[in-house]
Amino acid sequence: METKFQTSFIPKKPLISPTMSMQSKPRRSVSLFMMFAVIIFVASLGAVGGTYLWKQYLISSQDNYRTQLAEREKQFNTDLIEQLKRVNVQIDMAKQLLNNHLAISGIFDIISHFTAENSRFMSLDVTAPTNSSDGIKISMRGFGKDFQSVAFQSDILGQLEQYGLRKIVKNPILSDPSLDGGAGTVSFGFTATLDPTSLSYKQSVLGSLDTTGQGTGGQASSTGQ
């Protein structure tokens, strides 16, 4: 009787059981996690290295800029620069003084434009402004030929716009008229506030304040008395 041998060595059933295939999947996931971890680690090292190199580049650039600045400074005349700075400070101070300086003598020109022909002012007190918003206060004592002259002087003060002085002379007040028995004249007091810009020395030099051609109150209406 002949013995029968199996001619194929290929197993008919799978060598790996289903349970074994299920156990191999976690290994693949672990391998992928490790690969991602390695990639992130390598990227972190690259970022650290790049940051260090960029820092070194910035330090080197800063040193180069300092060297270039020192070389440029040597090309300028520092003594001349300091001299120009001092001259510039002097010019600025001169401009400030010029802008703030008041030509007090201009008060007499303003007074002459609202003084009637038969009125005279004998004294003048000037109070400078404490700040730019305040005006220049003036206080005067004067006299008129008679009560009619003083009344006419009061009328002129109420019509300053006709003489172009309304914006310059503010709050004019004529007060305390009294008869001088010996001379027969009438004395009175006068107070007002003047706009500081009208007495600007800068404007007087530049000729921006032009009061020529404005007739005095006395000349304009002397026939009305």
* Sequence ranges of the domains in the chain: 27-61, 106-218
Q: Is the pTM of the predicted complex or chain greater than 0.95?
A: no
pLDDT of residue 133: 72
SS3 177: strand
| Positions of the chain with pLDDT under 50 | 1, 5, 9, 19-24, 209, 211-225
pLDDT, residue 4, reads: 53
Tell me what pLDDT residue 56 has. Answer: 87
> Rounded to whole angstroms, how far apart are CA atoms 144 and 187?
6
Query: What confidence score (pLDDT) does residue 6 get?
Result: 52
DSSP 8-state secondary structure symbol assigned to residue 2: P
Compute the residue count for the chain. 225
H helices of the chain, where? 18-74, 78-100, 106-114, 147-157, 201-206, 217-221
Report pLDDT for 223.
35
Provide the 8-state DSSP code for 184.
-
Please state which CATH number belongs to domain 106-218. 3.30.1360.100
Phi-psi domain of 35 (left: phi exceeds 0; alpha: psi -120 through 50; beta: other):
alpha
Residue 225's pLDDT is what?
A: 39
